[in-house]
Structure 1
Amino acid sequence: MSGAPVIHTRVEAAVDALLAETGNDIVLGLPLGLGKPNPFVNALYRRAVDDPALKLTILTALTLDVPEPAPGLESRFMAPILERLYKDYEPLAYAADRRRGTLPANVQVHEFFMQPGALTSNSQAQQAYMSANYTHAARDLLDRGVNVIAQLVAVEGAARDRVSLSCNPDVAADLMPVVEAGRRGGRRIHAVGQIHPGLPYMYGPADQPASAFDHLIDDRDADFTLFATPRRPVDSADQAAALHIAGLAPDGGTLQIGIGSLGDAVSAALILRHEQPGTFAEAQARLAASDAQHAPETGAFEQGLYGCSEMFVDGFLQLYRAGVLKRRVYDDLDTQLAVNAGKPGPHDGGAVLHGGFFLGPPDFYTALNALSAGERALFPMAPVSQINQLYGGEALRRAQRQGARFINNAIMATLMGAAVSDQLEDGRVISGVGGQYNFVAQAHELDGARSILMVRATRTKDGEVRSNIVWNYGHVTIPRHLRDIIVTEYGVADLRGQCDRDVIAAMLNIADSRFQPGLLAQAKKAGKIEPDYEIPAGYRNNRPERIEEALAPARKTGALKPFPFGSEFTDEEIRLAKALRQLQARTRSPLRNAAWLAGALLRKPRANHASALARMGLAEPGKLRDRAYARLLSAVLPQD
């Protein structure tokens, strides 16, 4: 690498220096999610807003934006929570302007993965979206002419001769060789790092010499709270699906978990299997259909699991603490092969997880920082080119990734096994393909590996329950020729290598029974299943009531919890959140619920709801609107 970077103690000075080197046309590559250096990006963006001659193109993924609650009860509920979580967070100015549709003409923002569901109605974001596999992100940035990369970095010790890409080596680690080659001649890419004292120093490919950067910003006045994602409650559908999925993981295997509450649910189910195998087996048996063919694994993890996941979620740290994530892998092929063969040896070091980026609740960052350097070294952070594919080291990766289970979410699945994960039928993008295709393809290439896509059997829209298992759809993320395992709360459909007729039969078995007759009729009309076919009796009671009944004993003992790893919300807020969801469902169809609404508005709030109403600023409502809020909320809060 070249000499020491220029150290800037002011963000604005770094922007001045960069513009002096690059001129007025900047194509800025930023990491996904947490690793964006917000103060630097904001300072550069302000220059572009003030100077139309400065052209700024931002290439990135997952721009994290603080939620803007709707006026009324949602705002009353969310405002104190947002203050707690994001009081000292510096929002990205371009995100706010894009949300309002006011990005200046000289600024473009192209994302290949968007904050899920947040921008479906934003025309600027939708038109500028780049559809790409995560593994192709570095290539695509180079093709688009990136000439600046910037991200948060961590440092440790007084020398500061090394830095860590910490939460986001995902793309930057692949670009660093190009940055260095440009210094010796040819294409020039400028690297800017902003030191953040709260970032954990992570090892592996994330650990870089400080000289990898041209500019390092060490401005304590620019420190800000790291963006955190509060834990979401694990509901019945997630708990049931996670119990099914946890029975698919072989001891000694490899685990990948995607984004969302499913990560907590699966991690908790795996821990339950490890610590209370009898309770786990009982819950599995209660969930299974009477004539289910699937035989889950229910034993504790003696060898343990190894994590190989683009996202290092909090659940992996919980699995490590519980003694589930403990199978170590090694970067030396001979050592790895010896370990696989059970040959004795020292086998020190190694890794229990390779991650591409991390993002999570506040105590997740605190816990990573609290680990010793030796323990943090068990979780090396690496580029997605290493994690999401087999190329470029295939022999070693195959040796490491035994018994792999790649677990991801989808929003819908067709009756013939295709999956919809990133986009609506009309073309609007919900999020992005990210690494999902990469992991599905990898599951088909690795011996003993499986892709597991979790789909909620139903969703509620405009007060109407709809099936997420559909006959067909105008867009798919995973084509049916890559179908493997699909899981809903009602069970497991093993589709690999099956003919269309058998795939349809298996998918019908995990669909909600309210929609099974219509789906079966469509399959018969298309001639894809025999005219006299009937869904087996054991699968005709796929209803939410059966799931609730099956989960009840484990919930009663505390084996299944809505927040298995704690919550950033108070008990009062958890109670209020549930009540607000119920109220939202009631008020979404006011005509249908007119009698209930009238009764609720006529009753005064209950005395035992005083603390909840006080939390919402409704202890002594004066305005007519606020009195209505208080009465409606009291009507949906628990009555005891």
Structure 2
Amino acid sequence: MLLNTITPAEAVNFVSSGQRVFFQGAAMTPNLLINALCQRHQDLKDVEIIQVHTEGVALYTQEPYNKSFHVNSCFVGSNVRGAVNGGNGDYIPIFLSEIHLLFRKNILPIDVAFIQVSPPDVHGYCSLGTSVDITLPAVETSKIVIAQINPNVPRTHGDGIIHLRDIDYAVEDTSSLGISGGVPISEIEARIGFHVANLIEDGATLQLGIGNIPNAVLDNLSNHKRLGIHTEMFSDGILPLVESGVITGEDKVVKKGKIVTCFAVGSQKLYDFVDDNPLVHFKEAAYTNDTAIIRRNPKVTAINSAIEIDLTGQICADTIGNRQYSGVGGQMDFIRGASLSKGGKPIFAMTAATAKGISKITPYLKEGAGVTTTRAHVHNVVTEYGTVDLFGKNLKQRAKALISIAHPDFKEELEREAFKRFGGI
């Protein structure tokens, strides 16, 4: 069963001024279609782009294209950060678990969806590859679906399967998927990874993201047993633990023995690993990030990061002052799910100071900062100087605990501020 293909220039002619266009994201970003759409900028105006995180240069945020396109993003990656903070774009604060409601409840109805899929199998089914997340509800609700059909897209198991009849127009593409490479783990990151790994019990179900600190944690888990994965995303760091038998998922309740995720970003080795692999189930974010589902697994250990944390435990993870840096994402979904899981542990892991030498443990959050996770939800906090558990601690006790794992250069100042605020700690 074949679908007649057209050129990218022909495909993007189905977009009209004033419409809302969805872009699939991460490694599956359909840049061939996106760039072709940008070439039509002189014919279009007031086109709204709805997305999460995309890979690529995001021409639609740059001159002269941004006169025709306006990005309205549910997460802010580096390629759209300037537009969002510069007035040529906007950010929607929303949990990853609830973005599907914007489409399914017709709050932000989609006119055209740009996606990237594998070629169809003999039955006419294509795979959404490594980005099912909010793409599946976008495809189900969009008036028009335009797909890049690419043989480099892995056929993944789970819910990210759509039929050719769900695709209105298609273009052919042979581009490589977006590759996310790592950098060497620093000594500080290695110490954080060691501390976090000591909190993880055998039989735990893990949620972790991408980056050096999650990878440093994974590097310290080789002696663990029966670990499982239920996460919104993963990257290459889990592969050695799967190969060595550390990650088996045998203690999980939800999809026992399976790795559950809604998107993945990494190397070609990762994409080869998930291709036609029934061990890995790609689900939409409404499933992976549903707190009621997360909490059913045992010992859910959610490892998240923070830009700053104040002395009462308030977490800012998506802004630097009033500048939007990333997004709410799935942090609260998993922090709450872990805290409600039997034996679960919500963990925040971060360096004690920034690369510029600014303390991440602060008396107060910066003016304009968003509270990504409330102090009532925060339990374990880890820096290179140790681990503290804030659960059940009053404000003075929290301040004292956090100061104990702060960078030594800032402890005296933090103690002064704590004394002024709380009358001693």
- TM-score normalised to the size of structure 2? 0.91
2:316 corresponds in structure 1 to 420
- Corresponding position: 1:26 with 2:19: yes
Residues 255 and 405 of structure 1 are in contact (CA less than 8 Å); yes or no, is this contact kept in structure 2?
yes
Aligned residue among 327, 334, 358 for 2:264: 358
Residues 405 and 451 of structure 1 are in contact (CA less than 8 Å); yes or no, is this contact kept in structure 2?
yes
- Corresponding position: 1:243 with 2:243: no
Residues 126 and 429 of structure 1 are in contact (CA less than 8 Å); yes or no, is this contact kept in structure 2?
no
Aligned-pair CA distance for 1:177: 4.3
- Corresponding position: 1:169 with 2:126: no
1:410 corresponds in structure 2 to 306
Aligned residue among 239, 258, 264 for 2:209: 258
- Corresponding position: 1:59 with 2:50: yes
Residues 27 and 147 of structure 1 are in contact (CA less than 8 Å); yes or no, is this contact kept in structure 2?
yes
2:36 corresponds in structure 1 to 43
* C-alpha distance after superposition, 1:177-204 (max 9, x if no partner): 435xxxxxxxxx2222211211211011
Aligned-pair CA distance for 1:235: 0.7
Aligned residue among 174, 177, 182 for 1:231: 182
Q: Distance in 2 between matches of 1:164 and 1:113?
A: 24
2:81 corresponds in structure 1 to 119
Q: Distance in 2 between matches of 1:488 and 1:129?
A: 30
Residues 120 and 428 of structure 1 are in contact (CA less than 8 Å); yes or no, is this contact kept in structure 2?
no
Residues 380 and 388 of structure 2 are in contact (CA less than 8 Å); yes or no, is this contact kept in structure 1?
yes
1:215 corresponds in structure 2 to 169
Aligned-pair CA distance for 1:143: 1.5
Q: Distance in 1 between matches of 2:93 and 2:228?
A: 30
Q: Distance in 2 between matches of 1:161 and 1:207?
A: 10
Aligned-pair CA distance for 1:378: 0.7
Q: By percentage of residues, which structure has more helix?
A: 1
1:196 corresponds in structure 2 to 150
Indicate the RMSD between aligned Cα atoms, in angstroms: 2.5
Q: Distance in 2 between matches of 1:149 and 1:259?
A: 26
Q: Distance in 1 between matches of 2:421 and 2:160?
A: 52
Aligned-pair CA distance for 1:231: 0.9
Q: Distance in 2 between matches of 1:329 and 1:249?
A: 14
Unaligned residue ranges in structure 1 (runs of 5+): 66-90, 180-188, 275-299, 331-335, 338-348, 531-640
Greater radius of gyration (CA): 1
* C-alpha distance after superposition, 1:281-322 (max 9, x if no partner): xxxxxxxxxxxxxxxxxxx31xx1111111121112222112
- Corresponding position: 1:325 with 2:247: yes
Aligned-pair CA distance for 1:118: 7.3
Change in 2 beyond 3 A, CA 1:357/1:329: farther
Q: By percentage of residues, which structure has more strand?
A: 2
2:95 corresponds in structure 1 to 133
Residues 24 and 30 of structure 2 are in contact (CA less than 8 Å); yes or no, is this contact kept in structure 1?
no
Q: Distance in 2 between matches of 1:320 and 1:504?
A: 39
Aligned-pair CA distance for 1:127: 4.6
2:59 corresponds in structure 1 to 93
Aligned-pair CA distance for 1:240: 0.5
* C-alpha distance after superposition, 1:88-132 (max 9, x if no partner): xxx5432xxx2x453343311111212259735864467522222
Unaligned residue ranges in structure 2 (runs of 5+): none
Q: Pairwise mapping of residues 569-580 of structure 1 onto structure 2 (< 5 A)?
A: none
Q: Which amino acid aligns with 1:251?
A: D
Aligned residue among 261, 264, 282 for 1:381: 282
Q: Which amino acid aligns with 1:7?
A: N
Q: Pairwise mapping of residues 262-301 of structure 1 onto structure 2 (< 5 A)?
A: 262-271=213-222, 274=223, 300-301=224-225
Residues 350 and 378 of structure 1 are in contact (CA less than 8 Å); yes or no, is this contact kept in structure 2?
no
Q: Distance in 2 between matches of 1:350 and 1:518?
A: 49
1:8 corresponds in structure 2 to 5
* C-alpha distance after superposition, 1:446-472 (max 9, x if no partner): 3322211112101243xxx22111111
Aligned-pair CA distance for 1:329: 7.2
Residues 234 and 263 of structure 2 are in contact (CA less than 8 Å); yes or no, is this contact kept in structure 1?
yes
SS of the residue corresponding to residue 323 of structure 2 reads coil
Change in 2 beyond 3 A, CA 1:178/1:408: same
Residues 242 and 262 of structure 1 are in contact (CA less than 8 Å); yes or no, is this contact kept in structure 2?
yes
Q: Distance in 1 between matches of 2:242 and 2:261?
A: 14
Q: Distance in 2 between matches of 1:320 and 1:520?
A: 44
Give % identity. Answer: 23
Residues 5 and 216 of structure 1 are in contact (CA less than 8 Å); yes or no, is this contact kept in structure 2?
no
1:443 corresponds in structure 2 to 338
Q: Which amino acid aligns with 1:162?
A: Y
